[in-house]
Structure 1
Amino acid sequence: MFFEFGLKDIIDIVLVALMLYYVYRLMKESRSLNVFIGILVFVIMWLIVSQVLEMRLLGSIMDKLVSVGVIGLIVLFQEDIRHFLYSLGAHRKVNNLVKLFMKSNKGEVDKETIMPLVMACMSMSRGKVGALIVVERGVILDDICETGDIIDARIDQRLIENIFFKNSPLHDGAVIISKQRIKAAGCILPVSHKQDIPKELGLRHRAAMGISQDSDALAIIVSEETGRISVALHGEFQLRLSAEQLESILTKEMLLQ
């Protein structure tokens, strides 16, 4: 066995270890770690019983459980599986590889799209008006838009400020920007369950993190408590942004969409 162990086997072990680590990290973020550990223990026991100890009766029972359990796992972890597959497809290196074989549609970013967003955020920041704005990029957010009210209006500073005015019926939800237009308002976003989000960040920040984990969208947050402007992108926060920094991020990321 030792002499038959070659480079291909080493690569095989490393790839399996990386896959298990990635799944472990994903389950830890989604609070399904204990279930994942339980499944891992069961698989190890199954291998020991059927392959090492060769217990035919117990092994056959566990074989049946494994064959049926695959369907159960798909149902139980459907959200985690979707997130895992999305994370693979949205990985920067994978995206760069795909872009090599696709035509690029990059062009000039329209300042009339970006500046009203920046000015509205700065105005709401000064007045400590809470806001959550999601800029759609590659992943279509039609399912998120359906949770709110469709507006389909051009991007306008006063309109954005009116939506997030404290007495407005839509101020608690998120505004979705799609194809350089305000597509919907009052939308409900998925909330992130990451454990490392600072405690001083509220529900708006967790919702922004959630949509940035589930899609490639860019989420802008204006804190109601502090007035600080933040951005969530690719599952990471960029906090305490100035007007220049926000404009730079929007220009760069909208060019890369």
Structure 2
Amino acid sequence: MVKISGMRPLFIGIVIFMIIWVLVSQVFDMVLLGSILDQFVNIGLILLVILFQDEIRRFLMSLGSKKGWKFISKLFIPVDKQQQDTSHITSIVLACMNMSKARIGALIVVQGDLQLNLYEQTGEIINADISSRLIENIFFKNSPLHDGAMIIVGKKIKAAGCILPISQNPNIPKHMGLRHRAGLGITQETDAKVIVVSEETGKITFAEEGRLKINVNPEELQQLILAE
């Protein structure tokens, strides 16, 4: 899983600054320089909130979602495992495999806990049962809806031809096109999972929480979609 973010150098810089602050203030007892650095530390929390606001927002959204509550409940309440019906997920994976072989581009959004009504309204409402044949027909090159995103809610294809927010992250690999940027963009705004099939290479990319996993195989794709 590749994190598409420029925050790593910033985090390293903060760690280095904290080490320098400890050395100056506590080890070498440099009063003047230490007092200056103390002022930076005092406002550091506010700066961190500003700099990492997207990451903090995603963390709080995840904590307050059903997924977060499920994780917390599992720590205290034993849950009986029941057989999960995954036939609709299998249909999605099968469609992606077929489109990958045929080099048919696709952008599929699987809704999480946060509703995607705003994005559904930008496309055509379908509200049909999931089937691999229907997914492939929608993304067929001559289909009027093939350029937009498909939104899946539960076991239904809710909408197609939808417009998604485009990620402006400069660290996205240059060979990735608009579908990948749109797929990454929606995962930066919501807790949705996204599948992108490249029209140029046929490779399947999975996106979640602002991260991309490139060139996934069918088994990995099914596991990633089902993972909580």
Whether the TM-score (by the shorter chain) exceeds 0.5 is: yes
DSSP-derived class of the 2:186 partner: helix
1:166 aligns with 2:137: no
Q: Deviation at 1:179?
A: 1.8
Question: How many residues are paired up?
Answer: 189
Q: Deviation at 1:173?
A: 0.3
Is 1:109–1:251's contact at 8 Å kept on the other side of the alignment?
no
Structure 1 CA distance for aligned equivalents of residues 144 and 215 of structure 2: 27
Query: Are residues 143 and 122 of structure 1, via their aligned partners in 2, closer, same or farther at CA, if it must alter by over 3 Å?
Result: same
1:24 aligns with 2:58: no
Structure 2 CA distance for aligned equivalents of residues 232 and 132 of structure 1: 11
Q: Deviation above 6 Å: which 4+ runs of structure 1?
A: 101-106
Is 1:220–1:230's contact at 8 Å kept on the other side of the alignment?
yes
Q: Which residue of 1 aligns with 2:72?
A: 100
Which of 138, 149, 153 lines up with 2:124 in the alignment? Answer: 149
What letter matches 1:21 in structure 2? L
1:89 aligns with 2:116: no
**TM-score, length basis structure 2:** 0.73
Structure 2 CA distance for aligned equivalents of residues 209 and 196 of structure 1: 12
Is 2:62–2:191's contact at 8 Å kept on the other side of the alignment?
no
Structure holding more helix per residue: 1
Which runs of no fewer than 5 residues in structure 2 stay unpaired? 1-38
**Taking CA–CA contacts closer than 8 Å with sequence separation of 6 or more, which of the two structures ends up with the larger relative contact order?**
2
Query: Are residues 224 and 18 of structure 1, via their aligned partners in 2, closer, same or farther at CA, if it must alter by over 3 Å?
Result: farther
DSSP-derived class of the 2:97 partner: helix
Structure 2 CA distance for aligned equivalents of residues 96 and 154 of structure 1: 28
DSSP-derived class of the 1:183 partner: strand
Q: Which residue of 2 aligns with 1:113?
A: 88
| Percent identity between the two aligned chains | 43
Which runs of no fewer than 5 residues in structure 1 stay unpaired? 1-11, 27-82
Matches within 5 A, 1:196-207: 196-207=171-182
Matches within 5 A, 1:36-55: none
Structure of larger gyration radius: 1
Over residues 65-90 of structure 1, what are the superposed CA-to-partner deviations in whole Å (9 max), with x where a residue is unaligned? xxxxxxxxxxxxxxxxxx57742423
Query: Are residues 222 and 105 of structure 1, via their aligned partners in 2, closer, same or farther at CA, if it must alter by over 3 Å?
Result: farther
Q: Deviation at 1:245?
A: 0.8
**TM-score, length basis structure 1:** 0.65
Question: What CA RMSD, in Å, does the superposition of the two structures yield over aligned residues?
Answer: 3.2
